[in-house]
Chain A
Amino acid sequence: MSTGTLLEEVFDADLIGHPEVVAARTPSQLFWRRFRQDRVAIASLGFIVFLSLVAIFAPLFVALAGTAPPNAIDSSLLNDFGLPTGPSLAHPFGVDGLGRDVLSRTVYGARTSLEIAILATLIATGIGVVLGMLAGFFGGWIDTLISRSVDVMLAFPVFLLALGLASGCSLGNGCAGGLIQPGISTVVVVIAIVSWTYPARLIRGQVLSLKEKEFVDAARSIGASNSRILFREILPNLVVPIIVYASLMIPTNILLEAALSFLGAGVPAPTASWGAMISDATSIFNTAWWYMLFPGLAILFTALAFNLVGDGLTDAMNPRAAD
């Protein structure tokens, strides 16, 4: 580690040798300290913040860029053969098959992508943490029920399951008797349903080993209740692994959302989505390469940035493995 000795990492360098000042850093403080020293991860985090701002203030960004709104159809931008025109000053990323501005649609696509990936990750992680904690802590029939359900879910071809759920719910009148309507929430729910199993397994394993630790015995010996042990003793130790795991799930979910919309089972048109843009481009990409290229690069860079942050967080959690 570039930070010097373990002693210097755990204690503030100035305070070593001054036992009257108790200033040891907690494990999570150490975690964030190590993460902050990872320049690539911090730069990627910066990119993610920038992208999030662009997504949140998409109308403002498009106005500043001077491009047309994402759903504005302008057939005068198609050439004599009805094919879209390429990048120009007025349309830096060119236009699509309907004469819509690709830059504006890519910017609005960031909204769809980030919103779905982040919400789905939050929900899946939430479900996974609750079920994983229950299974790991209580064991017995609760563990059997949860673990066997995870086994069944993992035996499913995940992508087919997501595709089936999404197309069942995204076409026509929604699904479950109209309870779930097509739109962003459907895709979020679908992705959450197929991805909660991984965090559940991980958290179960962590809880299994944590509950054998001395501090849990100590808490129990002074008469702490189960819920106190679960939430006040075990959960704080799970925060770092949960953050690390969730950060690695986001890029996966970005790719899953894009793949679903590529197959026509994502958010309904005309909402801009990167995967759907690539799908639209499939029939004309040999001439209109820009329509395929830019949304693809958008997915690539976004997933890459989240993967780099996830790698940085993983290394900060296991500093020795990082070497």
Chain B
Amino acid sequence: MARYIARRLLWTVVLMFAVSVVTFIIFYVLPSADPAALRAGRHASPQQIEEIRHKYHLDKSLLDQLSFYFKGILLHGDFGISYVNDQPVAKLVFSRLPATISVAVGAAVLWLLSGVAIGIISAVRRHSKLDRATMSLALVGISAPVYWLGLVALYLFADDIGLIPLFGGSGSYQPITEDPLAWLNSMILPWVVLAVAFAAFYSRLLRGTLIEVMGEDYIRTARAKGLPERTVVMRHGVRSAITPIVTAFGLDLGALLGGAVLVEIVFNIPGIGRLAYDAILHSDLFLIQGTVLLAAFFVIGANLVVDVVYAYLDPRVRYE
């Protein structure tokens, strides 16, 4: 087990390296515009542009720039400077992390609870009206664009422009440390909107696997020895059908911690997603690198955790 984890950790480092090299290439080579001119702004003189080119090593070769970047990270923990904000990337990213964690974790709790509950009920009462209705709604939830749902939610329920003013609207985000009630009020709409598609996906997934599991022989055995149906479903059925949900949950949460771009934009929440979006719009290379690396870190980390937990839970998984 220890060797397995060590090998996976090593592979994680390799992946992170590969991701950052690819990001570097994409954002340095692809744009036809001169990065130094972009940074210098609209009214810069040629001389100013030259200074910027020199200051940020933009006059060096791509390979030199890459090695500057990695040396900075490895030797000084320095992820570079955001050209637009003139602040260290690491500081910017960490200042935005609480907002993104607020959005992602709250929504995750919501979609996990509702998705699992709906999935179990639909599987147990399969082909009932309730099952048909929830599964149709789930498909609608999967098909709806999340930013559009966000706008509709704001139109209906935001306390500034909504028809039925109930919850905080766009731009009402408050850090939890300042005013927990205002924070909660501002988070309700983003949580619900973000959770819809995931809850829909999870309920469909769990329904499918649970129906399959309930056809297994050991379920018949459990019933035959006279266990109440509730115990059969929850202790024997769901326990085994939940594994794909655990996998999906880890990966989805990891992906969201890297920034829920669309939801953060619609609700004007200052998180990683909006930071990344602004960075991309301004070709702010080190900031793009920083946000992409953070997102990749969460995705790869979630993968690792899921695999290790899986290997721990399921003895059939071998760690060769």
Contacts and interface: CB of A to CB of B under 8 A. Distances in A.
A285 B139 contact: no
A311 B204 CA distance: 11
Given A167-B281, A281-B151, A156 B292 contact: yes
Contact of B280 (A163, A255, A275, A300): A163
Q: Which of A177, A286, A299 has most chain B Cβ within 10 Å? A: A286
A155 B15 contact: yes
B19 A152 contact: yes
Contacts, number: 140
Contacts of A299: 143-145, 148
B208 interface: yes
A263 B145 contact: no
B22 interface: yes
Nearest to A297: B148
B280 A278 contact: no
B145 A292 contact: no
Contact of B15 (A151, A171, A308): A151
A156 to B, nearest CB: 6
SS of A interface (majority)? helix
A251 interface: yes
A165 interface: yes
Contacts of B152: 292-293, 296
Contact of B148 (A167, A264, A296, A304): A296
A308 B212 CA distance: 21
Nearest to B33: A172
A230 to B, nearest CB: 28
Contacts of B151: 278, 281-282, 285, 292, 296
A171 B33 CA distance: 9
B261 interface: yes
Contacts of A282: 151, 266
Nearest to A263: B277
B90 interface: no
Interface in A53-92: none
Interface in B254-308: 255, 258-259, 261-262, 265-266, 276-277, 280-281, 283, 288, 291-292, 295-296, 299-300, 303
B27 interface: yes
Interface of B: 15-16, 18-19, 22-23, 26-27, 29-33, 139-140, 142-145, 147-148, 151-152, 154-155, 161, 208, 211-212, 255, 258-259, 261-262, 265-266, 276-277, 280-281, 283, 288, 291-292, 295-296, 299-300, 303
17 contacts: A151-B15, A152-B19, A152-B22, A156-B295, A156-B299, A157-B295, A160-B280, A160-B295, A259-B145, A282-B266, A296-B145, A296-B148, A296-B151, A304-B139, A304-B143, A308-B139, A321-B212
Interface of A: 151-152, 154-161, 163-165, 167-169, 171-178, 251, 255, 258-259, 262-264, 275, 278, 281-282, 285-286, 289, 292-293, 296, 299-301, 303-304, 307-308, 311, 321, 323
